[in-house]
Amino acid sequence: MNTSPTLRSDVLNGRSVLEFDGNDLMVSSASGSLMDPGAGLTMFYVATGDQSGDVAARLFQFGSSTNNSGEIVAADLSTTDGEQSGFRFNNGAALYDAPIDPDAFPIGILRVIPGEGHNEAQFFVNGLMDENRFTGNGNNPNNTIMLTDNDLELILGTGRGDDGGIFSGDFFVGQLAELAIYDRALTTLEMNLVGNYFSNEYDLAFQYNLDAFVVAIPEPSSVLWIAMFGGWIVMRRRKTMYHFPPLRSKPIIV
């Protein structure tokens, strides 16, 4: 029988985590929908890699509760065959290969724009620089991602098969410290800010893409803005009270 994950206290920088033991899952309501399906999604998570050795263990799956065709996206944190990890789309199995230590807690970012091809999605680990970006070809790279239905759900710990049933051998074994889903594709500047928040909260490394600040602020202000941002990061790490500007949309799940 499937059970709920266990809450473990004081695991990561004094914070709690959800621990999945291989048959745990949590399923949200199946009547959800996006306010603007064309705006995309940006998903942040702090979690270990899967420790089961299974090929396709899923940390979470977001999308249709009844139909996989073009209507789901998931984070695969498998650690077999070279510690593969990444994004999985429907039957396309578009796996983005990133080396994830099953005992470490990386900061993962998945950015999806519905209507674009599987290969247009972005997957980052511990930062936004080129060395943090991982890409790969899916089996159906020309298919598009369409999260437009009103039966969208979130499943933690596994996913659904083609017949709509919960997978029986695809369960995640590991720990989840944070999951936030924004209902649009965030800009690089905004991803820098959210990544900095998680880096500070959990004392984890994160490589910022400061080019976003140069593009966002016209010269000559860009140099000053980058200096201010660098000082702000230092203040955050010294636990100084400071709140970054709010994003245009709040996370669906925090």
Q: Give the per-residue pLDDT at 240.
A: 34
Q: Give the per-residue pLDDT at 89.
A: 61
In a domain, 145, yes or no: yes
In a domain, 165, yes or no: yes
Q: How many domains does the chain have?
A: 1
Give the CATH number of the domain where residue 149 resides.
2.60.120.200
CA distance 1 to 116: 38
In contact, 58 and 154? CB cutoff 8 Å: no
In a domain, 81, yes or no: yes
In a domain, 221, yes or no: no
In a domain, 222, yes or no: no
Structure-token pair, residue 240 = 């100084």
pTM, 2 dp = 0.81
Q: Give the per-residue pLDDT at 238.
A: 45
In a domain, 196, yes or no: yes
CA distance 245 to 150: 31
Show the domain range for 186: 6-209
Q: Give the per-residue pLDDT at 90.
A: 55
In a domain, 218, yes or no: no
In a domain, 137, yes or no: yes
Q: Which residues of the chain have pLDDT under 70?
A: 1, 79-97, 136-142, 214-254
